[in-house]
Amino acid sequence: MNWVNVLLQGVLLGGFYALLACGLSLMFGVMRIINLAHGDIAVIGAYLIWVIVNQTQIPPWLAALLVLPIMWVAGYAMYVLLLERSRRAGLLVPLLTTFGLAIVIQNVLLQVFSPDDHSLLSSTGTLATSSVSFGGLSISIFGVLTLATAVIVLSGLQLFLSRTTAGRQMRATAEDPGVAELVGINARSVYAKATAIAVAIAGLGGIFLAIRQTFNPSTGPTQLIFAFEAVVIGGFGSPWGTLLGGIVLGVAQVIGAQVNPQYFVLFGHLVFLAVLASPRGGILDRRGRAL
């Protein structure tokens, strides 16, 4: 029964990674940009909700509703001010500028909030720690909530991309921005929207991060790596590939920790490298390129 518990824990953890990976995958799918500041942006979301909750004493769920639109606007601004120019300057330039942005974000956070660990634990009560027992299994309530949120966000994104005009235009722009312009789509505005959505979802990931663990200004890079591993293991394919990738990563880490607590991160990395080394380079095929 212990191993079933471990697997379950890994699956729930995978939900968190899938949530982190969503935005990364969306930006890559639509613009072919890998945002190296993605993890740090999630950490901004964590600090933002921490500040709001601590300054106003409003309940965390209400603060979360405030964080999302702020992150949305920040994402839009990030596209207009940084990515638009980077994208036009060449394929590799967005990597250079988003890495520069990551350094800036980490160190501004360091300057403002000190290197100390922060956490939302004191404001969220027992949410992060309570669990229910079910037939010998111990199920973390917050873990289930995270996984459910990931599933909702992924399905929402899927519906948005397939059913709405804005979503279809996003897919069209991802496939051929030049022709998209010729049928009246403003590719620049589509890209800005995609970035805004990606950053808002990263912010949501940051909110869950703030509740489930302590964080500090250098938490971001690890989140980026985990999100990226989830996307790659899932095969850069569908939203469900990302979810599956997150779950595989989570399970690998939890199994690693079971072998030796120091192997937690290592096992995830090794599964990632094994997937890269495999002939197909992913466990799902690569159809459905947008997201």
Partner 1 sequence: MIRARSAPLPGGFRVQRWTRVSIASGVVTIAIIAVLAVVPFLFGADVTEQLTALLIFVILAVMWNALAGYGGLISVGQQAFIGLGAYGTIFLTQHGFAPYLAMVVAGLGSGAVAIPASLIMLRLRGGQFAIGMWVLAEVFGILVTLDTGLGGGTGVSLNGLNVFAPGYRQAYTFWLTLACATVLLGLVFILLRRRIGTSLQAVRDDEAAAASLGVNVVRSKRVLFVVAAAGCGIAGALYLANTLFIQTNSVFGVQWTAYMLFMVLVGGLGTFEGPIIGAIIFYLIQAQFGDSGAWYFVGLGATAIAFALFLPHGIWGSIDRRLQLRLLPVGYTLRKLETPVSGTGEPRADA
Partner 2 sequence: MSLLEVRSVDAQYGLLKAVRGVSLIIEEGETRALVGANGAGKTTLLSVIAGAHRPAAGTIIFDGVDITRVPAHKRVGLGIALVPEGRRLFPGLSVEENLSIAGGRRRDGAWTVDRVLEIFPMLQTRRRQRAATLSGGEQQATAIGRALMCNPRLILLDEVSLGLAPMAVASVYDSLRGLISSGTTVVIVEQDLGRALAVSTRVTCMLHGEIVLEGESSALTREQITAAYFGVRQPSIVGSEP
Q: Which residues are at the interface with partner 1 (CB under 8 A)?
A: 28, 32-34, 36, 82, 85-86, 89-97, 99-104, 106-108, 110-111, 221, 224-225, 228-229, 232, 262, 265-266, 269-270, 272-273, 276-277, 281
From partner 2, partner 1, none, interface partner of 265 (C-beta below 5 to 8 A by class):
partner 1
Between 87 and 124, whose beta carbon lies closer to partner 1?
87
Rounded-to-10 torsion of CA 156, 161, 162, 164: 90
Q: Return the number of other C-beta atoms located less than 10 Å from residue 164's C-beta.
A: 11
Closest CA to 108 of 166, 44, 55, 152: 44
Q: For the chain, what's the residue count?
A: 291
Of 183 and 277, CB closest to partner 1: 277
Q: DSSP secondary-structure letter at 132?
A: E
Under 8 Å CB-to-CB from 61, ≥6 apart: which residues?
A: none
For partner 2, the binding residues (CB under 8 A) are 165, 168-169, 171-172, 175-176, 178-187, 288-290
Q: Which helix (H) or strand (E) holds 38?
A: helix 38-56
Instruction: List the single partner that 184 binds among partner 2, partner 1, none, CB under 5 to 8 Å by kind.
Output: partner 2
- Cα 36–85–31 angle (5° rounding)? 55
Q: Which does 183 bind (CB under 5 to 8 A by kind): partner 2, partner 1, none?
A: partner 2
Q: Give the integer Cα–Cα distance in Å for 203 and 261.
A: 29
Strand partners, 131: 140
Nearer to partner 1, 12 or 230 (CB): 230
